[in-house]
Structure 1
Amino acid sequence: MTESSARLLRLLALLSSRPEWPGAELAERLGVSTRTVRRDVDRLRALDYPVEAAMGPAGGYRLGTSGRLPPLLLDDEEAVAVAVSLRTAAGSGVAGIGETALGALLKLRQLLPDRLRRRLDALAVSSVAMSGPPAVDAGELTTVAGACRDRRCLRFDYRGHHGDVSVRVVEPHELVNWNGRWYLVAWDRERTGWRTFRLDRMRCRPWTGPRFVPREIPGGDPAAFVTRGVALVWPYQAVVRLHAPAESGSARRAATYGRIEAIDERSCRLRFTADSLHALAFLLGALDVDFEVEEPPELAGELLRLADRFQRAVAGPAGGSPGSGGAARPPDAGSGRAAGPAR
């Protein structure tokens, strides 16, 4: 590589690393005159890099935008990060993105030097295809994300939980990916209140909405707001007391099911919902901390039935636990207490 070509790549890397560079500072970094910097900038422009210049004593250079994508210059870490991101995007559940991401990954991998290709291959993981949440249209996701960024109102057709379709005009604030589904947190202008919308049920209408002044999302946490909104859809509600403080790792993991409330320095309360008693018990079985059922009373009975089933599953041929000589007895059904895995 000639000295001028190497300097051109160094100049491009510098311009990519900061929003703006004074010409004198670029010259100092490259070890050349400001006149040479101006010539190199002209060469970059000839290669379709949109380098913008501001004149005057405080002037400088920065990479702008153009009508088409110019070649990109990535360092080793950035190239590997982009490749891993493309591989993840191939299974993102966004319709129209998977095949495109895979094609871009194949192009990038072909250009990677051997040392980076080996690093990328070392990060390879196998995936198992399973039925999951409905795919989100990439165009819808882009439109909604752009409206959130630009603070512009959206108008869309929305299919509700029971299949009814309505037209909504909202002020979009935040996108949240919760449990594999995409949700929009927005202020509904006609209903004058905060709402949560699933993106796979939205069909945006072509409309350049007016700008709006952002509002404060209730609680200040968009993800927590979505969790509370989703919980209202399920018919079965439960309250359990966790034997762990609200700020513990166990409580934070349990918060993906519902809402955590602090009780004292040793315990907290979890409120969550599901579509059946069995689903409530299934979620509780995944906790890594002891707990007590506060409500509903029938949840304790469901947990006891599951405990009895598990004990039968490990019982010996004679009906007892292996080596015990007798049948295992389930917990006291009248206690209303269910113990989690031993800590």
Structure 2
Amino acid sequence: MAAKGVERLLNVIMTIGSRRRIDRAKLFAVIPDYANATSEQAAERMFERDKAAILELGLPLVTERDVLDENTVFYRIDAAQSGAVLDLTTEEYTVLLAASRAWDDAAAGGAARRVRSKLLSLGHDADPDLLRRTPRGAVESLPVLSPLLEAVTAARSVRFTYRGTHGAPAERHVEPWVVGVHEGHWYVHGWDRDRSAPRLFRASRIESFPAEGPPSVQERPEQTDLASVLEAMHHSDDHARAVVVAAPFKALALRDRAGASLDAERLELPPLPRPAARRLVLADVRWGELLEPVPWRAELAEVLTAVADAHEGEGDTAAVDAAAVRPEPRIRTTPTGTDTLSRLISEAAYVMDRGEVDLAELSAALGVSTKQLITDLQVLFVCGDMGTGWEDLIEAEWEHGTVRVRNAEPLRRALRLSAVEITALLAGLAALEPSAGEAESIVASARGKLLAGAGGSSDQPVEPPTRAELAEAASVDEMASRTADRAESVLTAVHRALRAETDDDASRLMIRYSSIDRPGTSIRRIRPLRIDTDGTRSYLLAECELAQGKRRFRLDRVVEILPADTPQGRADLGEGPVLDGLADGEVWLRLDPPGRWVGESFGAVELRDGADGAAFARLDRPVRAALVDAVLESAGAVEVLAPRELRDTIVTVARAAGARHSQP
């Protein structure tokens, strides 16, 4: 919708909302675009589109016919329904505001762009102390999400170009059943019309903007749990309880699965399919050794030996030069008129609720630049009730850095959240929850109110990404949930320190930290500053006395809170590989189809496609230890081609682990 359309819609809202009701004929006469339309039919079509946009905004537009003359149609905005949006406490509003910031709205599209604006229109003030302590979340933001979520809500099919694990892009025609998050990544599960079977799609591999298709015809299953669907992909008739020995305070993911203490050396995993157990053990093989079943142990030795053999000597970088550079998917979303209107109404409501607001404060609250904000205020300034005269236009001022808005009472109302926008907030809450700590009950109550709102907004609400008890929803990272449970005492101590005064001893903690890149643990005195989360893992930003500066610690690797008088000290290296810091310069990988996930997980800056079906990925200074672990976890599906130093490291690590598993 062009800027002119935004002004027209704002004028329509102001004109209808400024009076008890207005008849259709007068409305068409006072709105210039309707009055100057080329024909009556053109004005009718324009108005029908505007009505749909007003309802999409969440405004309760009501159409009535005169009881005495059914040819006379009246319109009004139902003031009685305007307040029935979300009845939130200050604490619930605060965590929802934090959840709304988990989305990169520029990348994710309309739902993400509108959701923060609509929250601001509710007229609440956030609790600044709780907002400071609430984790800063980040969920994978993709422009394809909004149309996919809308397709679930509307029970319609979509078409898109998809690049599967085997590399070649192909068009898919899908009836989405659920769109949700698992281990920090978005997935679409639904019925593939072309293959007449259920299929799972990773949203980041969709390379075209999903186009709406005909209504869905396949009956949707009663239970659609992403975690179960993904687990089924590792199905095998070979199930067993794997037994692993691991270094104390290491192999944390295996400990979570086994429910073992942090210092236990012998771990017994629950019954798992052989491929799933193999992947888990390989990911932590630097710190652990599989004892049973013996056949699985022998298979691990073969896999590790093959990985080491593949990395001996120089990598075949000539294959990279011969491969074709993969073009970037050109999927862009631009703000729509509805997005802009949501922001304009929220700006007006926010300012009128407070009387006046600092320009910089309003800019920060909405997440827009001051330049964009002034442009919005200029639009407000020329709009108003068209049924009276210029004296009833909106008064907007922003001189000297202070914003005031008057004569815009019809805009001083809360905007309803759509099912898609509620799902966007639920995804943000799911990202925050593993490290919410003392705010977990507030997150849960806010989610409950959102779900109640979603239930009333559509006959087929979008399945939201929540915890396991919401079986119809997209699941939250189960491993992050287990880690949060295990680290409850750590989270409690961190939140207590965040609440304390900055110059108080209570704001400092003595922690035992288990690093990913070296054996042993270090003892550090820190002052927590904030918690960040990416939907998969949570991180603690803190001032570290030992490092004499700010450092980021993975929260699940803060394994213990120690007494304040415990001496500080770095890790006793002992035996085992030391994989410090970042890999120098760029790293080239060869990715076979089962290993394509590694390029995505490390944010490849360039991808190339080889003639033999392999892909090549260029990484920019990845974390050395994490990449070595990923290469081992891929079980030979990923090869580091360059640099040679990193190849040699993989040979050393894989040979040592293979030797341990070759011994009887």
Q: What is the TM-score normalised by the length of structure 2?
A: 0.27
Q: What is the TM-score normalised by the length of structure 1?
A: 0.48
More helix by proportion, 1 or 2?
2
